[in-house]
């Protein structure tokens, strides 16, 4: 019955947010912020009943694993902090972010896939007081992001 309840669960897909915003390039050696929809960072439950008994399955958000498209992986234990100028002034670097250190194989402006895999731990309990753990669940989303670079030239000092 626990597997039946688990199969009926509908977990939210991560809604990817970034700074720089989606549609704008990330720049080599400049940190970019990543987050998902924090309003949905809460347990989700489903119950299956048979006769006089029932089983409740609860999926609890654990972490977001980001595949950044450059061979790196970033693990965030929360939804991440949405960028705002006030947060940036207070905290500086993002609590969930990534800095690209080189251009992608296609060169400046080439896109890479930014993938957010939202991992959920799953537990079950019965109306008779029994319980345990089930295999983790995950949901994911992908956004293409461009990676570019900025060059500067000093022509005169002093």
Instruction: Kindly report, residue by residue over 108-148, the tens digit of the pLDDT.
Output: 999 999 999 999 999 999 988 899 999 999 999 999 999 99
pLDDT confidence bin for 88, thresholds 50/70/90: low
Q: What is the mean pLDDT of the chain?
A: 91
d(CA 33, CA 144) in angstroms, rounded, equals 15
Q: pLDDT tier at 151 (50, 70, 90 boundaries)?
A: confident
Chain centre to alpha carbon of residue 95: 12
**CA 82 – CA 88 distance, rounded (Å):** 10
pLDDT digits (tens, 9 = 90+) for 23-39: 999 999 999 999 999 99
For the question of whether the overall pTM of this predicted structure is more than 0.85, the answer is: yes
| Angle, CA of 60, 38 and 86, to the nearest 5° | 145
Tell me how far apart the alpha carbons of residues 42 and 137 are, in angstroms, rounded to a whole number: 14
Mapped onto helix, strand or coil, the DSSP state of residue 68 is: coil
């Amino acid at each position: 019955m626990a597997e039946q309840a688990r199969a009926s669960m509908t977990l939210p897909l991560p809604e990817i947010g970034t700074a720089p915003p989606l549609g704008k390039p990330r720049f080599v050696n400049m940190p970019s912020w990543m987050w998902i929809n924090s309003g949905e960072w809460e347990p989700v439950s489903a119950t299956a009943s048979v006769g006089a008994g029932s089983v409740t399955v609860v999926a609890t958000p654990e972490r977001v694993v980001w595949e950044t498209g450059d061979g790196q992986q970033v693990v965030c234990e929360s939804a991440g902090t949405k960028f705002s100028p006030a947060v940036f002034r207070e905290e500086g670097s993002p609590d969930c972010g990534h800095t690209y250190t080189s251009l992608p194989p296609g060169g400046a402006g080439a896109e890479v896939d930014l993938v957010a895999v939202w991992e959920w731990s799953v537990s079950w309990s019965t109306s008779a007081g029994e319980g345990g753990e089930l295999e983790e669940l995950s949901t994911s989303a992908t956004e293409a992001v461009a990676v570019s670079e900025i060059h500067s030239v000093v022509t005169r000092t002093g």
